[in-house]
Amino acid sequence: MYNAEKVIPFIIILIIFFTIPMWLNFGRLEAIPQPELPKEEKKCVESKEYMRAYHMKLLDNWRKKAIRENQHLYTASNGKNYTISLQRTCMKCHTNKEKFCDKCHNFVITHPDCWDCHIAPEVAKKWQ
Amino acid sequence: MAIKRRDFLKLTGLTLVGTAASAAVGDLLTRGEVKAQEYATPPEALKGKRWAMVIDVKKCKEGQKKGCGKKCIEVCHYLHNVPSIPDKKKEIKWIWEDEFEHAFPEQTDEYLEEIFKDVPFMLLCNQCDNPPCVRVCPTKATFKREDGIVMMDFHRCIGCRFCMAACPYGSRSFNWFDPRKYLKKVNPEYPTRTKGVVEKCLFCYERLAQGKLPACVEACPEKALIFGDLADENSEVSKILKERVALRRKAELGTGPAVFYLID
């Protein structure tokens, strides 16, 4: 290899440069978002793991079924029935969008536009 | 150059391994997903094959004389978070009032105009049988439900306003800006709309799913608005329409409106 004494250090510098965010946050646990969970209700529509990974898929299916197919009732895998509605079902337990939704969404810099139309409970309260 | 038998067998083997591997990876990607998800129409929901509305304009007039305060508009616009925008060109309306000559411009009988001079006509989306707005929508944001309601999926609306150009009744309104600024009070059970979206009356599909009548029908103190299933012979709307004279707005266009105005 030509110029190995220059190329290899430079590759190492590049790797370090691109992984800077990882090194800077290394071992800093407080960076992990802690969304506020409802106090009264212990169980969500589906299991915690499922909701964590697939809530966006579930919500999208809910929209399709309720709006496009007029099926407003969801039967969860444990047999419980839920009315399909973001504002009338989800946000009755998760009573604060800022302390729940935004915690993770801001952390991963994703900005879903749900709340352009749907009214977050804390926003509705301020309105009245 | 022809492929050698040896190479062919090698490739076949590789393909098999690849297929098996991709199946395994696919399983990994969808692990933890709930397989059996069930959706249904709620048992309490009102079921119909062709929802329609009959409006008794004489009762409406009486009600306004007594001072009903146009409860239908007030309740509808509160429940659905419809803003009141003073600028007529940018206003948003789901149900509104107009005069006979504007509601029925094709009626050339000048005596009719005289008869209905002071009669209020409540106008709303006609939930057509053959809705022109649905035909022109490029994203299927507006579509026809099996029970006759011309539905809007606000999530899909891109604000092209083709539907507004197509609708012969002016039933659709466009959000030129964020409508929330013009909402004095808000119903936390229903969303608002956002800038760049078209909206209209949806025959209270969300209330029908809860087994309730549309908000305007329930709110009217004179019972001038009657809601029911046209496909059902014994429904109130079917019975009334067999006995009394009703007009439909611009029915000659072939849209098949489902809102009837009793004029006798």
Q: Say which CATH number the domain at B67 has.
A: 3.30.70.20
Assigned domain for A17 exists: yes
Structural domain boundaries, residue B164: 51-262
pLDDT of A1 reads 79
Assigned domain for B1 exists: no
Assigned domain for B4 exists: no
Assigned domain for B86 exists: yes
B234 vs chain A: nearest CA distance in angstroms?
24
When pLDDT is cut at 50, 70 and 90, the band that residue B29 belongs to is low
- The share of chain B scoring above pLDDT 90, in percent, equals 84
Distance from C-alpha of B168 to C-alpha of B172, rounded to nearest angstrom:
10
Question: Phi then psi for B2, rounded to 5 degrees?
Answer: -70, 150
Nearest CA in chain B to A62: B39
When CB atoms are compared, the residue of B33, B40, B155 closest to A54 is B33
When pLDDT is cut at 50, 70 and 90, the band that residue A75 belongs to is very high
Assigned domain for B28 exists: no
pLDDT tens by residue, B143-174: 999 999 999 999 999 999 999 999 999 999 99
pTM, to two decimals: 0.83
When pLDDT is cut at 50, 70 and 90, the band that residue B1 belongs to is low
Q: Which residues from A are below 8 Å from B146, CB to CB?
A: 70
pLDDT of B34 reads 56
When pLDDT is cut at 50, 70 and 90, the band that residue A44 belongs to is very high
pLDDT of B151 reads 97
Longest dimension (CA), chain A: 73
When pLDDT is cut at 50, 70 and 90, the band that residue B56 belongs to is very high
Cβ separation B191–A118 shorter than 8 A: yes
Assigned domain for B252 exists: yes
- Which CA distances in Å does B88 have to A67, B71, B92, B115, B163? 30, 21, 9, 28, 19
What average pLDDT score do residues A92-107 get? 93
pLDDT tens by residue, B170-228: 999 999 999 999 999 999 999 999 999 999 999 999 999 999 999 999 999 999 999 99
pLDDT of B242 reads 96
When pLDDT is cut at 50, 70 and 90, the band that residue A23 belongs to is confident
- Does B67 score more than 60 pLDDT? yes
Assigned domain for B142 exists: yes
- Does B35 score more than 80 pLDDT? no
What average pLDDT score do residues A16-38 get? 84
Assigned domain for A109 exists: no
- Does B250 score more than 80 pLDDT? yes
pLDDT of B33 reads 60
Reduced to 3 states (helix: H, G, I; strand: E, B; else coil), residue B46 is coil
Assigned domain for B16 exists: no
pLDDT of A40 reads 86
B236 vs chain A: nearest CA distance in angstroms?
24
- How many domains does chain B contain in total? 1
- How many domains does chain A contain in total? 1
* B190 within 8 A of B80, measured Cβ to Cβ: yes
What average pLDDT score do residues B73-97 get? 95
Structural domain boundaries, residue A31: 4-104
When CB atoms are compared, the residue of A61, A70, A119 closest to B186 is A119
DSSP 8-state assignment for residue B147: T
pLDDT of B75 reads 96
* A91 within 8 A of A120, measured Cβ to Cβ: yes
